[in-house]
Amino acid sequence: MEIRKLGVGSVAKVLGLLYALIGLIIGLFVALASLLGVLGAAANSNLGPAELGMGIGGGIVGIIVLPILYGIAGVLSGLIVALLYNLVASLVGGIKLETR
């Protein structure tokens, strides 16, 4: 069996979702680091509203914005990879796949 052509849209959707999930995982770590930074700074000094807002903003960026940006990057990567694979596979043949 040989994979001769990839569905460009399906590869883009799958990679978009995978990258968004990776972005969410990374975003959770960013949000946690932001929260710990705010808590640590609050314990050592008086924080004003601007500083607290920055910490909360870092958490929002981590949980909402990063998955969206990673998802968009995944879709674009999927489109490019699938198109290039289809071009190369038409020239030299596809990936051989052995199934039982």
Round to whole Å and give the CA distance between 25 and 31.
10
Burial class, 67, CB count within 10 angstroms (exposed 0-12 / middle 13-18 / buried 19+): buried
The reported pTM is 0.79
pLDDT digits (tens, 9 = 90+) for 1-27: 888 999 999 999 999 999 999 999 999
DSSP string, 34-57: HHHHHHHHHHHS---HHHHHHHHH
Round to whole Å and give the CA distance between 79 and 56.
34
pLDDT digits (tens, 9 = 90+) for 70-90: 999 999 999 999 999 999 999
pLDDT digits (tens, 9 = 90+) for 26-52: 999 988 888 787 777 666 666 666 666
Structural tokens at position 13: 């959707």
Structural tokens at position 56: 């909360």
